[in-house]
Amino acid sequence: MKAQVILVNELDQETGLMEKMEAHEKGLLHRAFSVFIMNDQGDMLLQQRALDKYHSGGLWTNACCSHPLPGEAVEAAAHRRLSEEMGFDCPLRELFQFTYRTEFDNGLIEHEYDHVWTGTYNGAIQPDPGEVQAYHYLPVNEIFRLLAEVPEQFTSWFRLAFPRVIDQLRV
């Protein structure tokens, strides 16, 4: 069975289900989440998406992101994918939600109602090579510098969410 996403309206109310690739081809708004992980030194975990991902392959982004399965709570999905993609889990808390739309060169469209989660983790990382090309922790100031100098090396949703995540964590 092909993966499905949960279609939503602008209030994140479920309106139906659709096969994931079809939703990305049509650019329909669907529920998603992004997980941002910090370590005790205040550095952020970045992953470089695997080169053969259906979009944004090779770009740097937050620890993980995906879509909840039909009937799955967003928090449960965030824990599931963090474990599947990065090989660890940790306590998470939701920071905010936002909606974005990005068109890619391959014709796909990300139109997501994104729930943004954060957590702290200092242990071993065992990423799935089918999902993650590389990873490392970077100081927040270094990420701001890279975003200013080479924004094209980062995913669209990371560029949008990162400054707000940092603002929320500093409160």
Residue 148, classed as helix, strand or coil, is helix
What's the rounded Cα separation, in Å, for the pair 129 and 126?
Answer: 9
Q: At residue 13, what is the residue type?
A: Q
Q: Which residues are catalytic?
A: 65, 112
- Rounded to 5°, the CA angle 148-153-154 comes to 80
Nearest-CA neighbor of 169 among 37, 26, 31?
37
Give the chain's count of helices (H) and strands (E).
4, 9
Do the Cβ atoms of 142 and 166 come closer than 8 Å? Answer: no
CB atoms within 10 A of CB 50: 18
CB atoms within 10 A of CB 168: 14
Q: At residue 113, what is the residue type?
A: Y
